[in-house]
């Protein structure tokens, strides 16, 4: 049986391997493994200036899209001044992923945004971000240890009957968190379908009028027991099957 093809957006980072120290296309293996474990075929999508103008070239190759975690989104993308804690932004990645997200949503392609990816969906649809949560919520619990998920577990409450609850398989859901930014004003058409038990911060957003557009502020790819990435793969398989029959 043909596996659904899941495009996963990557970062551009300085990396070292063997004797090399160069710019590289980079993605945590956890994303790829989660897609493969769920029965999908992972296809990495690095920033591409030509695809900003014509994202359909990429979308025609895939059955579902994952917007992965990573660096802060440049506040120019949503018309805000830069906060001192907003660092190491990558405008070329932002532009690429915003174009892909908008076109995928218009195409009704299944889309899952993870951490930064959830924020990217919100920005792509006209929303804004809180640039440094500790000033907003009064604590550092959403990113306890830099570069690690150690001690990062916290609970979210998902709206009963929502896509988020269906994807997670439960309403009260334990998650792994690593972020210092979050959703401020919601983008057009989006609804909040999950909140943190620590401070009511939006932790899941979705588009009810699309078959599968979901953003989660946590990292399901870091949790082997999570069914969230699997739900995206299943939605992509259904979408691909429908297109094949047509």
Domains of the chain, each with CATH number or no CATH = 5-12+22-245 (3.40.50.880)
Q: What pLDDT score was predicted for residue 244? A: 57
Pairing type for strands 213-216 and 202-206 reads: antiparallel
The phi and psi torsions of 218 (rounded to 5 degrees) equal -95, -175
Q: Name the pTM for this structure.
A: 0.94
Burial profile 224-238: b = 16 or more Cβ within 10 angstroms, e = fewer:
eebbbbbbbbbbbbb
For 7, 14, 31, 225, 227, the CA distances from 34, given in Å and listed in that order, are 13, 24, 5, 10, 9
Length of the chain: 246
Q: Which residues carry out catalysis?
A: 115, 219, 221
The phi and psi torsions of 151 (rounded to 5 degrees) equal 70, 20
Task: DSSP for 200-239, please give it.
Answer: --EEEEE-TTSSSEEEESS-GGG-TT--HHHHHHHHHHHH
Q: What pLDDT score was predicted for residue 90? A: 93
- Ordered mean pLDDT values, 10 residues apiece, the chain (246 residues): 94 90 93 98 97 97 97 95 91 97 98 97 97 79 75 89 98 90 96 93 96 97 95 96 63
């Amino acid at each position: 049986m043909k596996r659904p093809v899941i495009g996963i957006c990557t970062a551009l980072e300085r990396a070292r391997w063997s004797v090399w120290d160069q710019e590289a296309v980079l993605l945590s293996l956890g994303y790829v493994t989660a897609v493969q474990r769920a029965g999908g075929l992972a296809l990495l999508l690095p920033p591409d200036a030509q695809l900003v103008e014509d994202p359909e070239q990429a979308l025609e190759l895939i059955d579902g899209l994952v917007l992965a975690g990573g660096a802060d989104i440049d506040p120019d993308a949503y018309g805000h001044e830069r906060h001192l804690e907003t660092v190491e932004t990558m405008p070329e990645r932002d532009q690429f992923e915003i174009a892909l997200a908008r076109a995928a949503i218009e195409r009704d392609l299944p889309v899952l945004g993870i951490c930064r990816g959830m924020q990217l969906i919100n920005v792509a649809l006209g929303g804004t971000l809180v640039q440094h949560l500790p000033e907003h919520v009064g604590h550092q619990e959403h990113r306890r240890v830099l570069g690690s998920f150690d001690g990062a577990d916290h609970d979210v409450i998902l709206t009963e009957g929502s896509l988020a609850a269906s994807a997670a398989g439960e309403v009260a859901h334990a998650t792994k968190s690593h972020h210092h930014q979050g959703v401020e004003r919601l983008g057009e058409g989006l609804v909040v379908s999950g909140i943190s038990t620590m401070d009511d911060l939006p932790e899941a957003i979705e588009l009810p009028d699309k078959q599968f557009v979901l953003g989660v502020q946590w990292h399901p790819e870091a949790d082997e027991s999570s069914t969230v990435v699997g739900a995206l793969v299943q939605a992509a398989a259904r979408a691909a099957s429908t297109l094949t029959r047509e």
